[in-house]
Amino acid sequence: MKSNNNTIFWEDERVDGAEKVNGKAKYAAEHSLPNMAYAVFVTSTIAKGSIKNIDTSKALAMPGVLDVIYYANCPSVPGYISNAAERPKNAIEWRGHKVLHDNKVRFFGQPIALVVADSFESANAAIRFVKAEYAPESFETNFDKARLDAKNLKINSNYKRGTEKKFKEAFAFVESEFNIPIEVHNAMELFATIAHWEGEDKVTLYDKTQGPKSTQFTVSRTFGIPDKNVRVIAENVGGAFGSGLRSWANVPAACIAAKKLNRPVKLVLTRPQMFSLVGYRPQSWQKLGIGADAAGNFVGISHEAITNTSRYEDFREGIVDASKFLYACENVDTKYQLLPLDLSTPVWMRGPGEASGCFALESAIDELSYKLKMDPIELRLKNYTTINPENKLPFSDINLKDCYAYGINKIGWKNRPTVPGSLKENGWLIGYGMAVGIFGAGKGSASVRIVLSNDGKLLLECGVSDMGPGTTTAMTILASEAMQMPIQKIKFKLGDSDLPPGPSQGGSGTTSTVGSAVDLACKTLQQKLKEIAIKSAPVFAGMNAEALEVKNEIVISKTDANAKMAIIDVLKLANQDKIDLTITSNGKTAAQLKFTSNSFSAHFVKLGVNPKDGTIKILQVVTTGDAGKIISPKTARSQMLGGVVGGIGMALSEKLEIDHKTGQIINASFGGYHVPLHSQIPPTDVWFVNKPDPNINDIGAKGIGEIALIGLAAAITNAVYNATGKRVRDLPITPEKLGFKSKV
Amino acid sequence: MKPCFQQDGRRSFLKKSTALVALYLTPSVFVKAFAVDTIVPMPIPKEKLTITINGKKLNLEIDARTTLLNLLREELAFTGTKKGCEMGQCGACTIHINGKRTKSCMQLALTHQNNKITTIEGLSEGEKLHPMQAAFIKHDAFQCGYCTSGQIMSAVTCVREGNAKSRASIQAYMDTNICRCGAYQNIVDAIAEVAKTGVKI
C-alpha cells in the first residue's frame, strides 16, 4: 500500500493481476461458443507464382472436415472488390493480401486454403492432404543483394536543412553503414480470431488486436456492413508489440468461414505462421555520416536508409527521423527509400523506425567520440538542445541531462576505460556503453464513459485495449487520483468495441490520450456532483460550485469543513441512482501545439566479452526514462525492464533467416529464432525523471513503451567496442563478428 | 514446414523432441493413408481416458489425437494453460503431471491414463492465491499475462525441487519458459522471495 497525498491509499499492484496469475483472464482463442468449428490455414510452399489447382478431395474425405475454403469456392467479400465502381458503397478495399481470394502466391507461407472441421484435431490432421499445384515464378527475397540495384528502390522521402554532406568538411567525422535483419514481434499469444455471425449482417469477433475499434472498422468496411453490427472483443491481449495494430489474414478468413458454414469459427495461427503472417520489423540498411568541430559541436549529419516492404504494399517508418532533431546541428540531410521484396508486409514493431535509426545514430556518435577523444556523454551534452532543430519548436519538456547524471553514477561510468580493450575483470574484457532513445509523444482524442453509482462505485469505460503495459491499472490510478477516491471502488473496463471510442494501443500514446480523457471525465463528474449537491443539499444552499471540492468520497466546502456530504448521500438526496456521463477529450490544444513533444531515454550497459571465444555477458543495465509524470510506477518499471530484454534480443540474437533459393523462412520457431531467455538477463535498474511535462496534456504524462527499447542495442554495441575495440554495425552481434570462429 | 535449428544442446534437443511429437500426432492409420496417397473415410479414433485434473477424477472419451494441452483448453475449458508454440519450446503450456512440470503441448492425452494433473487453476484454493501467485503479483512478474501460467507452474517446481538456491540456478531452471514482455527479472525476484520464506509449496 502506498500513501498518496496522505489521504488516499491505493495498492501499487496491477489491478488485473489476480486473474492473470490464476488463469482466469481470457484471451481471444479462449472463448467457446456453441457449435463452434475450428479452422487451420494451409500455406504456400513457393514464394511467388500462381496456383494451377488445389485438390481438396482427400482433405474433405477426412473425418470431421467440414470444408476446405480457397479461391475457387470462397464467397465474395465486398472489400475484396478492387474496382471501386463495382464495390458496395459502404465497403472499403481490404488493405494487403486478400486471403483466400485469388490464385496468386505473393510470399512463401501465404495462406492458400482454410480447412474447417468440427475439432482442432480433425482440421489439423487434414491440412497435409490439401495438395496445390503451382506455376512458380522468379522472385527476390534477398535484401542485401536487391538493394544494390537502384532500379529496385522506391524513393520515399528526402530532407535537407543547411548543406548536404557537410559532415565531410568537419574537423573529425565518421561515415558508417549499419545493417539490421528482419526481427519478429513473436508475442507469446498466438494470433487468433473467433468469428460468429449473429445475423446476415451482424458479426461478433473475439480477436487478438491492439485496437478493438480499428478492427471493428476494418471488418465493417471489408464486409460492407454497419459499424454497429460489428462487435470486437479483446479483453486481454497476450502481447503484440505493434503486430496487433492492423488486422491480418486470420480476421477475414475466420469471418468468411463462419459466414460460409453458418456457425462460429475459431482460427488460431501456429507459431511458424506468426513469423510470416502478422508483420515484422523490416530489414534495414543505413549509412550515417556525422562530423564535429574540435570542440565537439556537430557540423553535419547525413542519414540514408533503405527498408524492405512487400511487393503488394508499402510500409514505411520514421527510420531517419531522430537524426533530424535529437541533437543541435545546422546541416542535416536524410534520404529514405523502400525496397519491395517477395515477402509479406512489415509492420510497426516496438520502437518502430527509431529503434533502427537510433542504432545507427547513437553508434555513429560513439564512434565519433573516440575520434575526438571525448567522452561520448560529454559529446552528447555538447550538442544538447531544448529546441527541436527540425521544426524549431521547443520540446514540451526535456530532462535527458538528469538521465545522464543518474546513469553515470549508477553504472559506474568513471570505471569506463578510455582505451578500448584495456579493462579486464576475472579474465573477461569489460566495456561500458550508453545510448539515447527518443520517440514522439502524442495525444489524440478518446471518449470515456464514467458512471458513479449510489453504492459509491465508479465505473469507467473506453474501447482501448491493454496488451500488457498495464493500461487498466494506470487508468484506474489516474481516476483514483483525480477523484481522490480509493482504487478498490474503481473499475476501468476496456477491450470491447461497444465501449466509447478509444485509440488503438500503440505509438506510446495510450496513457497520454486515454489518460487525458479519464482525467477530464473525472473532472466533469466532480463538477456535476457539485451542481447536484448545491441543488439538493440544504447544507450547500447558495454556494458556488467553485467553493466546493470532491475528495475522499465527500463533497465539501473549501472554506467550511462542516459543510460536507458523502457523495452517495448526495445522489440519494437527489433521488438519482447514478450519474452517467460520456465525455470526449480531444487532441492537443493550440497551446500544446506550440511545443514538440517527445519521450526520451538513456540506457547504460556494462558487459564482459570472453577473450577466448567472444561470448558476451551483459553484467548490468541502467535504463532511464524521461517521460513526464509516471502514472503507475510499478507497471512502468516493468515496461522499461521489458524494453531492455527486447533490446538485448535485438542486439545479441534476433534475426529472421530466409533461404533465398526457396524464399522460405528457415528459423520460424523459438528453436531457431532466439529471443532472450531468463539466464541472459542482467540485473537491471530502472529510473524515471518522473516530472510532469507541463505542455503535453493536463496529466503531465508521456508514453514509455518505445523509448524502453530504442537505443538499447546501440548501448550494447558501444559497450562491446569499449570492451574489445571491435565495432559491430550489423546486428545481431555474434562471436564471428568479433573475429571468433563459429563453434558449430 | 521444417524449422531449422542451430546445433547447441538445448535447441537440438528441442528439434528432436519436436520431430518425435510430430510422429505421435499422426496416428498410424493416417500415416498409412498418407504413404499410399489415398484416403479411406474413417471414423475419428475415440478412446477412453481416466485422468485426475486438479483433484477431480474424470472419465472421458476423447479423440486419440488430442494433446493434453488441447484437451485442457478445448474440451475441459481449463484455458489457464496457454498455447504458445505447440513445439515444446516456449513453456506457456507448462503443467504438473504427478507433481513434475511438463509441457502439455508435447503430451498425447491418452498416454496419461490415471495420472494426476495440476493446472494453474488448481494451484489456488478458491479465491486464495498460492504463495507463488501472490509473489508474482507483488513483484509484477508479468505484463500481458500470457506466459504467466507456465512461468508460475515452473516456478513452483523450481522451489519444490531445490533449484532456487541462487539467482543463477533459478534462471537456469526457468530458461524453459519464454516471456516476450521481458518480465524475467521480476519473475526471478518472485521465485527467490518464495524460496527464501521457506513456505512449503
Closest-CA residue of chain A to B12: A671
Do B96 and B138 have their domain in common? no
Which among A236, A681, A684 has CB closest to B145? A236
Contacts of A64 in chain B (CB under 8 A): 44
Do B166 and B193 have their domain in common? yes
- pLDDT for residue B14 is more than 60: no
Lowest mean pLDDT segment, chosen from A110-124, B25-39, B82-96: B25-39
Task: Report CB contact under 8 Å: B73, A30.
Answer: yes
Q: Counting Cβ atoms within 10 Å, is residue A624 exposed (0-12), middle (13-18) or buried (19+)? A: buried
Radius of gyration of chain A (CA): 28
Percent of chain A clearing pLDDT 90 (strictly above): 97
Crossing angle of helices B131-138 and B184-197, in 10° steps, is: 130
Residue A112, pLDDT score: 98
Contacts of B90 in chain A (CB under 8 A): 188, 271, 670
Residue B43, pLDDT score: 79
Contacts of A121 in chain B (CB under 8 A): 44, 63, 65-66, 70
Q: What angle (nearest 5°) sits at the alpha carbon of residue A390, between those of residues A627 and A303?
A: 95
Q: Which of residues 253-292 of A touch B (CB under 8 A)?
A: 268, 270-272
Enumerate domains of chain A plus CATH numbers.
Answer: 2-25+443-587 (3.30.365.10), 31-137+186-275 (3.90.1170.50), 393-428+592-744 (3.30.365.10)
Contacts of A270 in chain B (CB under 8 A): 86
Task: Report CB contact under 8 Å: A188, B82.
Answer: yes
Task: Report CB contact under 8 Å: A20, B142.
Answer: yes
3-state DSSP assignment of residue A628 = strand
Q: Does A125 touch chain B (CB under 8 A)?
A: yes
* Cα gap A641→A709, rounded to integer Å: 9
- pLDDT for residue A204 is more than 50: yes
Q: Does A678 touch chain B (CB under 8 A)?
A: yes
Cβ density class A314-331: b for 16+ within 10 Å, e for less: ebbbbbbbbbbbbbebeb
- pLDDT for residue A321 is more than 90: yes
Q: Give the DSSP letter string of A268-288.
A: E--TGGGGTSS--BPPEEEEE
Which of B136, B143, B131, B124 has the alpha carbon at shortest distance from B187?
A: B136
Q: Which domain holds residue B137?
A: 131-197
Residue B39, pLDDT score: 52
Do B190 and B147 have their domain in common? yes
Q: What angle (nearest 5°) sits at the alpha carbon of residue A455, between those of residues A453 and A456?
A: 70
Residues A500, A449: contact at Cβ < 8 Å? yes
Read off the CATH number of the domain in which B164 is found: 1.10.150.120
Contacts of B73 in chain A (CB under 8 A): 30
Q: What is the mean pLDDT of chain B?
A: 85
Residue A316, pLDDT score: 96
* Cα gap A19→A235, rounded to integer Å: 12
Residue B40, pLDDT score: 55
Do B116 and B145 have their domain in common? no
Residue A156, pLDDT score: 79
- pLDDT for residue A504 is more than 50: yes
- pLDDT for residue B12 is more than 50: no
3-state DSSP assignment of residue A465 = coil
* Cα gap A43→A723, rounded to integer Å: 46
Do B69 and B118 have their domain in common? yes
Q: Which of residues 602-641 of A touch B (CB under 8 A)?
A: 634-635, 637-639, 641
Contacts of B175 in chain A (CB under 8 A): 677-679
HSE (side-chain half, CA atoms, 13 Å) at B29: 12
- CB atoms under 10 Å from CB of B6, counted, come to 15
A194 or B43, greater pLDDT: A194
Task: Report CB contact under 8 Å: A23, B15.
Answer: no
3-state DSSP assignment of residue A202 = strand
pLDDT band at B198 (very low <50, low <70, confident <90, very high): confident
Do B117 and B151 have their domain in common? no
Residues A413, A603: contact at Cβ < 8 Å? no
- Chain A / chain B CB contacts < 8 angstroms: 228
Last residue in a domain, options B87, B105, B122: B122
Residue B3, preceding bond cis, omega within 30 degrees?
A: no
- pLDDT for residue B21 is more than 50: no
Give the pTM. 0.94
Last residue in a domain, options B71, B102, B122: B122
A722 or A3, greater pLDDT: A722
Percent of chain A clearing pLDDT 70 (strictly above): 98
* Cα gap A547→A560, rounded to integer Å: 9
Give a yes or no: residue B185 inside a domain. yes
Pairing between strand A265-268 and A284-292?
unpaired
Which among A21, A30, A641 has CB closest to B136? A21
- pLDDT for residue A301 is more than 70: yes
Q: Does A705 touch chain B (CB under 8 A)?
A: no
Do B135 and B105 have their domain in common? no
Do B156 and B108 have their domain in common? no
- pLDDT for residue B37 is more than 80: no
Torsion sign, CA atoms A370, A371, A372, A376: negative
Give a yes or no: residue B163 inside a domain. yes
Q: Counting Cβ atoms within 10 Å, is residue A145 exposed (0-12), middle (13-18) or buried (19+)? A: exposed
SS3 assignment for B16-79: HHHHHHHHHCCCHHHHHHHHHCCCCCCCCCEEEEEEEECCEEEEEEEECCCEHHHHHHHHCCCC
Q: Does A69 touch chain B (CB under 8 A)?
A: no
Read off the CATH number of the domain in which B82 is found: 3.10.20.30
Task: Write out pLDDT tens, residues A511-533.
Answer: 999 999 999 999 999 999 999 99
Task: Write out pLDDT tens, residues A643-702.
Answer: 999 999 999 999 999 999 999 999 999 999 999 999 999 999 999 999 999 999 999 999
Give a yes or no: residue B112 inside a domain. yes
Task: Over range A419-442, report the average pLDDT.
Answer: 97
* Cα gap A666→B65, rounded to integer Å: 27
Cell reading at A476:
484506474
Percent of chain B clearing pLDDT 70 (strictly above): 79
Task: Write out pLDDT tens, residues A564-586.
Answer: 999 999 999 999 999 999 999 99
Contacts of A26 in chain B (CB under 8 A): 79
Task: Report CB contact under 8 Å: B77, A32.
Answer: yes
Task: Write out pLDDT tens, residues B102-133.
Answer: 999 999 999 999 999 999 999 998 889 999 99
Give a yes or no: residue B17 inside a domain. no
- pLDDT for residue B3 is more than 90: no
Q: Does A469 touch chain B (CB under 8 A)?
A: yes
Provide the shortest C-alpha distance from residue B104 to chain A (in Å).
Answer: 15
- pLDDT for residue B36 is more than 60: no
Provide the shortest C-alpha distance from residue A637 to chain B (in Å).
Answer: 9
* Cα gap A732→A650, rounded to integer Å: 6
Residues A149, A306: contact at Cβ < 8 Å? no
Residue A82 DSSP class: -
First to last CA, chain A: 52
Task: Report CB contact under 8 Å: B142, A21.
Answer: yes
Give a yes or no: residue B97 inside a domain. yes
Closest-CA residue of chain A to B166: A679
- pLDDT for residue B9 is more than 90: no
Q: Does A667 touch chain B (CB under 8 A)?
A: yes
Which of B82, B70, B74 has the alpha carbon at shortest distance from B146?
A: B82
Q: Which of A13, A16, A20, A267 to mutate to test the interface with B (most CBs of B within 10 A)?
A: A20
Task: Report CB contact under 8 Å: A643, B182.
Answer: yes
Residue A743, pLDDT score: 56
Task: Write out pLDDT tens, residues A278-298.
Answer: 999 999 999 999 999 999 999
Task: Over range A476-483, report the average pLDDT.
Answer: 96
Do B172 and B109 have their domain in common? no
Last residue in a domain, options B122, B156, B171: B122
Pairing between strand A684-688 and A616-626?
parallel
Residue A148, pLDDT score: 98
Contacts of A622 in chain B (CB under 8 A): none
Do B50 and B118 have their domain in common? yes
HSE (side-chain half, CA atoms, 13 Å) at A21: 30
Do B107 and B141 have their domain in common? no
Cell reading at A188:
507469446
Residue A742, pLDDT score: 61
Task: Report CB contact under 8 Å: B180, A637.
Answer: no
User: How many domains does one find in chain B?
Assistant: 2
Contacts of A744 in chain B (CB under 8 A): 6-7
* Cα gap A606→A616, rounded to integer Å: 11
Q: Which of residues 26-65 of A touch B (CB under 8 A)?
A: 26-27, 29-30, 32, 43, 58, 61-64
- pLDDT for residue A628 is more than 90: yes
Do B109 and B140 have their domain in common? no
Which of A358, A271, A381, A260 has the alpha carbon at shortest distance from A647?
A: A358
Residues A365, A379: contact at Cβ < 8 Å? yes
Contacts of A709 in chain B (CB under 8 A): none
pLDDT band at B44 (very low <50, low <70, confident <90, very high): confident
Residue B4, pLDDT score: 31
Closest-CA residue of chain B to A671: B11
Residue A600, pLDDT score: 98
Give a yes or no: residue B39 inside a domain. no
Residue A11, pLDDT score: 58
Give a yes or no: residue B146 inside a domain. yes
Which among B6, B133, B144 has CB closest to A468? B144
- pLDDT for residue A27 is more than 80: yes
Task: Report CB contact under 8 Å: B152, A32.
Answer: no
Q: What is the mean pLDDT of chain A?
A: 96
Q: How far is CA A718 from CA A163, A183, A723, in A?
A: 29, 21, 9
The set of residues, in sequence order, having a beta carbon less than 8 Å from that of A77 and lying 6+ positions away, is A94, A98, A101, A222, A223, A252, A256
Percent of chain B clearing pLDDT 90 (strictly above): 74
Task: Write out pLDDT tens, residues A37-56.
Answer: 999 999 999 999 999 999 99
Which residue is listed with cell 495462406? A111
Give a yes or no: residue B155 inside a domain. yes
